[in-house]
Structure 1
Amino acid sequence: MTETKIIETDRLVLHPLSFGDAQRIVDARPAAGERWAAEYPGIGDTASARAFLAGIAERGDPGIYRPYAIRLRAEDLVIGGIGFHRPPGPDGVVTIGYGLVPAFRGQGYATESLHGLIGRAREAGATAVRGDANLDNVASQRVMERAGMAYEGEDETVRNYRIVFPRAATP
């Protein structure tokens, strides 16, 4: 399994949450010296942190398949979160979610962070990454498309996306 470590992109640092980090998000209390953007954590960040804490209690540490804080590299400012809902199932497929505080949307940060997370899943041996967005959330649908995820279909509430990693040829 790939080591749990920071994911770096051109403008961002995706910091893997620890148990303590997740608890601070639930409590809306940053660590000493940590800078959070206004409106962080959002409802999704808090829900993700709670699910992560529950998952640790039920299944243990998920390794790389955890939530990550999205930080602006230059400002060292947390502007949102991205992560895996849980480790992949037997089919190797993992589900992702993400969100940014409103002031930082529309600047390519979500796509950039999703590219980084998809790369980490591929390195770790996942066979595919999937995600979904509400039917009316066109911006999130475009984020997944720009990150290389293909539209898979929809139901009455969400559009589904997936990127499948090609299998290495066996000798």
Structure 2
Amino acid sequence: MEDLVTARLVLHPMSVVEARQVMAGVPGEGARWAPGYPDQGDVAGARRFLNTCEQSGDPQPFGAYELRRREDDLVMGGLGFHGPADENGGVTIGYGLVPAARGHGYAGEALRALLVFARARGISRVHGDTARENIASQRVMAAAGMRLVAEDERLRYYTIEWTGMPGTTSENA
């Protein structure tokens, strides 16, 4: 699968080899990791990706992605799908950035690209969640068009839904 490219970012589909490198905390030859990458969330995403690959095969395009800055190919975090679409056409996403990359709009840019990508591939609903205290992530999801649909003592849950074909305007119906 090819990289997804935005104005400032490259969303690189993670391979099994790259996921194992993330799990080991050791970059592959030529890879450039930002300080703090991978964090616990990146390791958990790599583990989930590897488990999916072992159980049902490579889930791409609905797998894990490395978030790289285009200008220097520096890996600053990860994002992606928690697996293939469910029986209702829904997927769950997650994302995270190293602390030094936060506050520059990268998460929003990456999330919007992932949402456009999902919708173009027939996904009808995307779910995400964030810790109640993570106001920045809540703002990222809201700005990308996701709406708060539930919350509990730990998390806030967001969803975006599309009806009709890609390109129509009936969102969050």
TM-score normalised by the chain length of structure 1: 0.94
Q: What corresponds to 2:20 in structure 1?
A: 23
Q: Using the TM superposition, give the Cα deviation of residue 63 of structure 1 relative to its aligned residue in structure 2, in angstroms.
A: 2.1
Moved runs in structure 1, 4+ residues, more than 2 A?
A: none
Q: What corresponds to 1:130 in structure 2?
A: 127
Runs of 5+ consecutive residues of structure 1 not aligned to the other structure: none
Q: Using the TM superposition, give the Cα deviation of residue 34 of structure 1 relative to its aligned residue in structure 2, in angstroms.
A: 1.0
| Residue-by-residue CA offset, 1:109-136 (whole Å, 9 max, x unaligned) | 0000001111111111111111011111
The one-letter code of the counterpart of 1:76 is D
- 1:59-74 alignment, distance < 5 Å: 59-74=56-71
TM-score normalised by the chain length of structure 2: 0.93
Q: Secondary structure at the match of 2:58?
A: coil
Q: Secondary structure at the match of 1:111?
A: helix
**Aligned residues of 1:132 and 1:158 also touching (Cα < 8 A):** yes
Q: Secondary structure at the match of 1:61?
A: coil
Q: Secondary structure at the match of 2:22?
A: helix
Q: What corresponds to 2:5 in structure 1?
A: 8
1:32 & 1:5 partners in 2: Cα distance?
Answer: 20
Are positions 1:114 and 2:108 aligned together?
no
Q: What corresponds to 1:168 in structure 2?
A: 165
2:156 & 2:95 partners in 1: Cα distance?
Answer: 15
2:28 & 2:102 partners in 1: Cα distance?
Answer: 24
Runs of 5+ consecutive residues of structure 2 not aligned to the other structure: 167-173
- Mean CA deviation greater in 37-46 or 147-156: 147-156
Q: Using the TM superposition, give the Cα deviation of residue 168 of structure 1 relative to its aligned residue in structure 2, in angstroms.
A: 2.8
**Aligned residues of 1:96 and 1:129 also touching (Cα < 8 A):** yes
Q: What corresponds to 2:100 in structure 1?
A: 103
The one-letter code of the counterpart of 1:10 is A
Q: Using the TM superposition, give the Cα deviation of residue 161 of structure 1 relative to its aligned residue in structure 2, in angstroms.
A: 0.7
**Aligned residues of 1:5 and 1:64 also touching (Cα < 8 A):** no
Higher relative contact order (CA 8 A, sep 6+): 1
